[in-house]
Structure 1
């Protein structure tokens, strides 16, 4: 009965059920084989110590190539002339490129340059066109970043390559800056010394370069200080948060006022 079912003709086609079953088997086997090849390819690339971004880029390129070959094999198993299918795919790709060839080729070329010259790398924290996040991957056409609040952003490669990129993780150390205002009645030397003590008591603040405190501005309601502390890149945000908290506690303990913004309103009586 099973052989009888397999030998039945599929309505409105010249295919038999056995042809369809064989084609589906080819498709599934092809996808499994492609995934195995991609996995082996990735493992081989990791042994070369290539940057993660380059490995990701090459892996995606190979994936697209293999999946196209699997689709062609599936079409061939169904009895279609593979050459005709290939020409059809080429026509579709040509049509897509015809509508946006310039942008497509520009994004592709930019992706190659990004993966090769690596102004950014996988897991770097970057700001691109005002968008901040961690680099997840550079694809054939777009760069993917993940924001700290878990928003996934896709940026065309041409915008990445053609824009100023701020890379927060490229350098081994960075400077944390904390701004704080003190009252005009404050002993400024004392306020500066307390700020120095706060930074020196933080174990993650580096001695070289040395921390610094500058008077950054004479504001409307306060004398504004800026605390500058150098730290290892992975510690810089923790240092910033710790210093912000500790300077508030230290100034309160020492009786140093951090004033609120104030506005003087004068009312004139008429008559």
Structure 2
């Protein structure tokens, strides 16, 4: 039976060293969590945006975990210098095989955190994906879709693409399209739509709502209701106005036509 202080066969490491390394890993992981949480709490007391706080917290986590792993390796009796040298060789090999995208993603993450084209909790469209910004990490950005799907996008694609931010501005304009039949009293139809918007409690008075004629289409005269609202009220007001204009026009006898196609059949004379 091998003693606690005796090296194990083939590996040359004692049970005491293995137990010490395990303790260092467990305690180090717990301490790193506590340090990062305290670090983030301290940053949140400043004026730094949540996005920057989250990014710096994740960066510190990565550094602490690397330090804990090196301490555990040292407890096993392995020279830390040789491990660092080996890691450097591996990193160099990886970069030599075209994995320099890692550094590109890291640099892009720094720029995103510094310039903040997106921020925590904002709804954005980037790289063809739309969702709420859940986190910006060292290597990637996380978006959470309305149906609770988590999308991870490499930072270089975020920084290198057009970003549409739907919630950065405090107000937005709600556009609701509706068509009325030819022959409709347009002045009356427009007045009814204006009254609907003005009577809605979440529609802003300034800028004032408006109704414009957008097209003389094949089957209808197309109107567009335009109402300004607070950004957080956008979808609620859009739903209310869409439902409200339909019910109002039906009540007032204003026809909302559907696309129609007249087909004329011409009979050929008998031969």
Q: Which runs of 5+ in 1 are unaligned?
A: none
**2: CA distance, partners of 1:50 / 1:118:** 11
Query: Alpha-carbon deviation of 1:10?
Result: 2.9
Alpha-carbon distance, 1:102 to partner:
4.1
- Counterpart mapping for 1:143-162 below 5 A: 143-162=141-160
Higher alpha-carbon deviation: 100-109 or 175-184: 100-109
Equivalent pairs counted in the alignment come to: 269
Structure 1 CA distance for aligned equivalents of residues 47 and 194 of structure 2: 43
Q: CA deviation at 1:184?
A: 0.8
Q: Which deviates further from its counterpart, 160-169 or 63-72?
A: 160-169
- Equivalent-residue separation in structure 1 for 2:97 and 2:152 (angstroms): 21
Aligned to 2:29: 31
TM-score by length of 1: 0.95
Q: 2:212 aligns with which of 187, 211, 214?
A: 214
Partners of 2:139 and 2:7 lie apart in 1 by 43
Q: 2:253 aligns with which of 252, 255, 259?
A: 255
State the Cα deviation string for residues 57-86 of structure 1 (Å, max 9, x = none). Answer: 111111111101111011111111111111
* SS of equivalent to 1:72: helix
Q: Tell me how far apart the structure 1 counterparts of residues 68 and 89 of structure 2 sit (CA, whole Å).
A: 18
Shift in Å, 1:101:
4.8
In structure 2, the residue matched to 1:88 is: 86
Supply the distance in 2 between the matched residues of 1:138 and 1:224 (Cα, whole angstroms): 43
* Deviation by residue 1:80-107 (Cα, 9 ceiling, x = unmatched): 1111111112222222223335422222
Which structure: greater helix fraction? 1
| CA pair 265-5 structure 1, distance change in 2 beyond 3 A | farther
Q: Which ranges of structure 2 fall in alignment gaps of 5 or more residues? A: none
TM-score (norm 2): 0.95
